[in-house]
Every structure is written in structure tokens, then in C-alpha cells.
Chain A
Amino acid sequence: AQSVSQHNHHVILSEAASLELGCNYSYGGTVNLFWYVQYPGQHLQLLLKYFSGDPLVKGIKGFEAEFIKSKFSFNLRKPSVQWSDTAEYFCAVRDTDKLIFGTGTRLQVFP
């Protein structure tokens, strides 16, 4: 079965800093990959997704992710974070009819 690893558990940044959150999945073949965000006290929302095609995927709020098949990775990036990006970020991979989530990365952005 698929699995997902997020190695950054807690990231602290100042506003305007660049962000990269790591995500690795366990095995290849056709994969569907996702990043979800959970703002404090809220439910999960989809940030972006990769199904096929261009490996550089753009999502909402200026986020993007790059699918690198050779590295089994789908890292999330943002060139300049804002205080409002403080949230928990989850990477997920589709496994037939369900999603397998990583353990999440808590991002804190300070003004």
C-alpha cells in the first residue's frame, strides 16, 4: 500500500521568507498527489493536486508543488509567505478509492 512521509514536522518562518515543505510517497507507477491545508480551528481544504501532465502544479494562494517522479517527491513551495499562511499542511496520495495522508507539517509565520 502507498504511504506518505512529511519530514518537516514544525517550520517557523518570518513573513516574506520562502517556503518548501517536503513530501515523499512510497512507490511509483501512476500517482495522484495532493496538498491540503488546515487553518487554525478549521477543516481541511484542497491547496493543489497533481493527476498528470505538467509536473509543476499551481494552487491557490500562490502555492505550487513539483512532482519529481525519480525522487518520489511532491514538495510544496511558496516564494514569499504571509502571516495568514500559518496553518497545518498535509500531503496525501491516492490509493484506489481513498487518500493516504502524511502526518502533517505545522507552519508558523511571524510578522
Chain B
Amino acid sequence: NAGVTQTPKFRVLKTGQSMTLLCAQDMNHEYMYWYRQDPGMGLRLIHYSVGEGTTAKGEVPDGYNVSRLKKQNFLLGLESAAPSQTSVYFCASSTPGLAGTQYFGPGTRLTVL
């Protein structure tokens, strides 16, 4: 039981490049989330999904897109990376009845030059 996994762990991009971050969970959770963590700002929700085929915007969605084609996967895309998107990205999942009890992945450290 791997829990929540994220790919890749580290990535360096140049401004304007695109990339996709993959989150996978094997706990059969309905809900999945993408956060970014920046010093002094805590965790901010980018997008989330309450089920396969659904997505919703969080607090800071601009510049990001997401897809939830399969229940176990939640993809976060950056179409044209900007230095302001340099951050640590965390994925999390939970069940509907316990939406606050989230299980987090190990994070992806992204640097945009």
C-alpha cells in the first residue's frame, strides 16, 4: 500500500516550458487535491476533484490546469511555466465523509528559471 505518490520529485524548468505533475493514490479515495507550499504562506489549494471526471478551482488556480480521468490519478499541468510558480507542490487525497483527513504525498519541488 503505497498511499499517495507523486512524480517527479524534483524538476527544473525554463520560463515558458510546460510540464505535468502526476499524483496517484491506491486508497480508493474519491477526493484529490493539489496544493502549493511557499515560505510564510502555508499551503494554498490550487485545484481539487471530488470524483472521477470532476475538477474544481481552489484558492490559486491561475496558470494551472488539472485532469482526473481515472479515480486513482490526478494530474496537474503547467502550460507555460513562470518563475512565480517555483514552489513545492503537494497532492493529497481523502474520503468524502472525512474531507479534512487528508493523506499527503511526498511533494514535488519545482524550480522555474
Asked, given contacts A32-B100, A44-B104, whether A104 binds B42 with beta carbons under 8 Å apart, the answer is: yes
| 21 A–B contacts, CB within 8 A, in A order | A32-B100, A34-B100, A34-B101, A42-B106, A43-B90, A43-B104, A43-B107, A44-B43, A44-B90, A44-B92, A45-B104, A46-B101, A96-B99, A97-B50, A97-B96, A98-B33, A99-B99, A101-B42, A101-B44, A102-B42, A103-B41
A98, B99: Cβ atoms closer than 8 Å: yes
Min CB gap A11→B, angstroms? 15
The answer to whether B104 touches A9, judged by C-beta atoms less than 8 angstroms apart, is no
Question: Contact string, A40-52, partner B, CB cutoff 8 A, digits 1/0?
Answer: 0011111001000
Within 8 A of A (CB), among B57-113: 58, 90, 92, 96, 99-102, 104-107
Q: A83–B96 Cα gap in the complex (Å)?
A: 36
A90 adjacent to B43 (CB under 8 Å): yes
Given contacts A43-B90, A43-B107, A44-B90, contact A97 B99 (CB under 8 A): yes
Give the residue of B31, B40, B42, B101 whose beta carbon is less than 8 angstroms from that of A97. Answer: B31
B45 within 8 A of A: yes
With most chain B CB atoms within 10 A of its CB, the pick from A46, A98, A99 is A98
**Minimal beta-carbon separation of B47 from chain A (angstroms):** 10
CA distance A44 to B40 in the complex (A): 16
Tell whether A94 is near chain B: CB-to-CB under 8 Å: yes
Binary interface encoding of chain A residues 78-109 relative to chain B, with 1 for a CB under 8 A from any of its CBs, else 0: 00000000000010111011111111100000
Instruction: Please state if B104 and A90 are interface contacts (CB–CB under 8 Å).
Output: no
Question: When the two chains form their complex, are residues B45 and A98 in contact, meaning their CB atoms are under 8 A apart?
Answer: yes
